[in-house]
Amino acid sequence: MVDKEPLPSWNNGAPKSAILGFVERVTTDGGAEFVPPAERIATFDNDGTLCCEQPLQMQFFFLFDRVKEFAGKDPALSGRQPFKAVLEHDYSTLFGLGREALLELVFATHAGITDEEFDQFARGWLASAKHPRFDRLHKECVYRPQLELLAYLREHGFKTYIVTGSGIDFIRAFADEVYGIPREQVIGSSAKLRYDVTDRGEASLMKLPELNNFNDRDAKPLNIGLHIGRRPALVFGNSDGDLPMIRYAKSGRGPRLALLLHHDDAEREAAYDREFRLSPLAEALDKAEEYGITRVSMKRDWKEVF
């Protein structure tokens, strides 16, 4: 396969060379590091790796807008936590309330409907909801260099997956349109489902207010095992939550490439790592060299961001 200027939004440098060299080696039939197409699995974290997660991950904006909608119908909500904090934009209080409070918000707004109904709500929101800073739709706050990389990998026989802490149904609502990744190649956090059949014989899947799986840290490789059943050949993350899937991939025999996006570009997007409470980057940064992870600097390595 001949590519004229692959990855045009990537600056020349160590990460771009590492990607191009890796893809060339694993796709060279007869080469020492050839990887059969069936084993060319690439897994990407979503928030902060494929799209902007500042000031909050996209699903929080969706969640908060749903809470506002619900509070409009049920004014009593505005008097009690965790709803009060959302309605008052008091995120410091909100995140101080802890995991159970966040789950209460999620279940209040994401459960009691079928997965297909949820998909409609999410698509409706995604069609018009804008990022507070970038004056573009949330679903357009995705990184151009990463879209190029996903397409480049697919052109070279890779199957591209998202492995995200965000909700599987939420990410599925735009992954195909935005990233070219089909629903079945999205692995995410999930609620339990119930199989329902109506009196008229219509079967559907009801989203329940109960966590099935929070797909972060160790859960990422565990869910890769469940959904894919292979170690990824290439893995791309941006936080400590991605470290277990990175180490799982790198522990496999044969060539593996692990990449870590470092947000060091306050001017074009954001500069953060250790102090970002929702998804910190500390251990992965400190151990990148030891674990054989290629660090990608947004500022240095990306010609364009969006």
The set of residues, in sequence order, having a beta carbon less than 8 Å from that of 60 and lying 6+ positions away, is none
Regarding 204 and contact with its own copies (CB under 8 A), the answer is yes
Supply the minimum distance, in Å, between the C-beta of residue 43 and its own copies. Answer: 11
Of 245, 238, 220, nearest to 281 by C-alpha is 238
Task: Tell me how far, at minimum, the Cβ of 101 lies from its own copies, in Å.
Answer: 26
Residues between 250 and 279 that touch its own copies (CB under 8 A)? 250-251
Q: Give the helix ranges, DSSP H, for 132-282.
A: 144-155, 168-179, 219-227, 243-250
CA dist 228 and 222 (Å) reads 10
In whole angstroms, give the CA distance from residue 201 to residue 83. 37
**Of 213, 209, 212, 211, nearest in space to 112 by CA:** 209
Q: If DSSP codes are grouped into helix, strand and coil, which group holds residue 132?
A: coil
Buried b / exposed e over 45-77, threshold 16 CB at 10 Å, is: bbbbbbbbbbebbbbbbbbbebbeebbeeeeeb
- Binding flag, residue 247, its own copies (CB under 8 A): yes
The closest of 204, 191, 185 to 104, measured between CA atoms, is: 191
Interface residue with its own copies among 163, 168, 178, 278 (CB under 8 A) is 168
Q: Is 190 in the site for its own copies (CB under 8 A)?
A: yes
Residue 172 in contact with its own copies, rule: CB under 8 A: yes
The correct pick among 45, 169, 240, 242 for binding its own copies (CB under 8 A) is 169
Which of residues 196 and 304 has its CB atom nearest to its own copies in the complex? 196
Smallest gap from residue 247 Cβ to its own copies (A): 4
Question: Which residue number, 88 or 210, has a Cβ lying nearer to its own copies?
Answer: 210
Q: Which stretch binds its own copies (CB under 8 A): 25-33, 93-101, 102-110, 191-199?
A: 191-199
Please count the residues of this chain forming the interface with its own copies, following the rule CB under 8 A. Answer: 38
State the residues that interact with its own copies by CB under 8 A.
38, 41, 115, 159, 168-169, 172, 176, 182-184, 186, 190, 193-195, 197, 201-205, 212, 218, 221-222, 225-230, 244, 247-248, 250-251, 291
